[in-house]
Chains A and B, each alone.
Chain A
Amino acid sequence: EDQVTQSPEALRLQEGESSSLNCSYTVSGLRGLFWYRQDPGKGPEFLFTLYSAGEEKEKERLKATLTKKESFLHITAPKPEDSATYLCAVQADTGRRALTFGSGTRLQVQP
């Protein structure tokens, strides 16, 4: 059974204070790992897909990296508008192929 564990559950940062969110996963064969951002009362919004260990992707202050067992979402010099819940999901390369999501990390960036 595919499993995704995200840590920490919640993170409070000061504006400009860089940090990383962790996503550990167990999947029979990884086809892709996805990062989403979710604002309160909204649906998740796609950020990145990573396909193989060593791959990195960047978007503004966010950089996602992937190893064989986990992924990190690095947030550099965050701003208050980066406050959101960040969700990680994995897609297996066999069977159903629907995404399995973690429960998310709730990030709050204070001015």
Chain B
Amino acid sequence: NAGVTQTPKFQVLKTGQSMTLQCAQDMNHNSMYWYRQDPGMGLRLIYYSASEGTTDKGEVPNGYNVSRLNKREFSLRLESAAPSQTSVYFCASSADSLRELFFGEGSRLTVL
């Protein structure tokens, strides 16, 4: 019973490098989300996808891009990583945009 699976769990990048965080859910949920969590700031929404084929910006989208590959998968890309993007990233899904979120275990990213 996997739920929401994120890869990788840990990653270290140098400034300017690019990478993609992968997320997949097996609950047949329509909506998917990417959040970042920083100490003392809570979870902040980066991008979300209310349904397959749509994506929208959240609170902190600058420096990120997303792709809703299909109903199961939602990836987050950093084109040119910056130290300010050092954070823990969480993917989440929900049955629809009005329901509770189910979170993955997180991906801890460090940008040097």
Q: Is the interface of B mostly helix, strand, loop or mixed?
A: strand
> What number of A residues sit within 8 Å (CB to CB) of B?
23
Q: Which of B12-20, B66-74, B76-84, B100-108 is near enough to bind chain A?
A: B100-108
Asked whether B105 lies within 8 Å of A101 as measured between CB atoms, the reply is no
Across-interface contacts of A53 in B (CB, < 8 A) = none
Q: With an 8 A cutoff between CB atoms, is A63 at the interface?
A: no
CA–CA, A89 to B101, complex, Å? 11
Contact status of A97 and B103, CB under 8 A, knowing A87-B42, A103-B40, A103-B41:
no
Q: Do B42 and A99 touch (CB < 8 A)? A: no
User: Which B residues are CB-close (under 8 A) to A4?
Assistant: 42
A residues less than 8 Å from B56 (CB atoms) = 96
Q: Could you write out 24 A-B pairs with CB less than 8 Å apart?
A: A4-B42, A31-B98, A32-B98, A34-B100, A41-B106, A43-B103, A43-B105, A43-B106, A45-B103, A46-B101, A46-B102, A87-B43, A96-B48, A96-B58, A97-B97, A98-B33, A98-B48, A98-B58, A98-B97, A99-B43, A100-B45, A101-B44, A102-B42, A103-B42
